[in-house]
Amino acid sequence: MRLYSFFRSTAAYRVRIALGVKSLDHSIVPVDLLAGQQRSPQFLSENPQGLVPALTLDSGTTLAQSVAILEWLEETHPDPPLYPEGTLKRAETRALCQHIACDIHPLNNLRVLRYLSDPLGLEQSTVDNWYAHWIHRGFTPLEKAVGQFGKKFSLGERPGMVEVFLIPQVFNAYRFKVDLTSFPNITALDERCQQLPAFYRAHPSRQMDTPQEERA
């Protein structure tokens, strides 16, 4: 499999984590979003949506959209599972994941932030405040949910789909210097996850296309 990825893409980060948790062999094809490579004819021939991530399967079929890719991985490579047992628990997990993917992430992605700066012409400080506002609004209900994990993970002794979605969003919050002191459960969960190989290797600072100044 080939994963088309950008080192700072929240959605691509999710898929990198899941591939690592499931120990699936794959190669990474960097797509520089800042340089506009996602709009190149070559990439559009793979993914007409012009977005990352995109996952090209061994069959040659290319899947788009991180949520669809993650669901495909779970259905076709169920061990280890990323969802809990039981239909109710799985629905509750999907609700948390959709809160992150639908209510937090779209307001904070590159296209939105660029539009705030140009053409709207907002000052960077205003854009940063916009970002922090929506992170705080989104993380507030998640903090309570994560607190119920205790000093473990969403699936008890191991992480699951909640961490796959949440940890990349935490990285973005840190990148934009959002004050997360109000979210000790979330930051502690992030620290626990960063000790695990799948999360450690998927981190943006450890991708082949990470600029040297961002590898700290």
The pLDDT tens digits of the residues spanning 14-57 come to 999 999 999 999 999 999 998 999 999 999 999 999 999 999 99
* Strands across the sheet containing 54-56: 27-30, 2-5, 54-56, 62-64
- Please state the domain extents for the chain: 2-80, 87-200
Give the predicted TM-score (pTM) of the model: 0.92
Chain segment 165-189, per-residue pLDDT in tens: 999 999 999 998 999 999 999 999 9
Domain covering 2-80, topology: Glutaredoxin (3.40.30)
pLDDT at 122: 73
- Domain 87-200, CATH among 1.10.3720.10, 1.10.443.10, 3.30.530.20, 1.20.1050.10: 1.20.1050.10
- pLDDT band (50, 70, 90) for residue 216: low
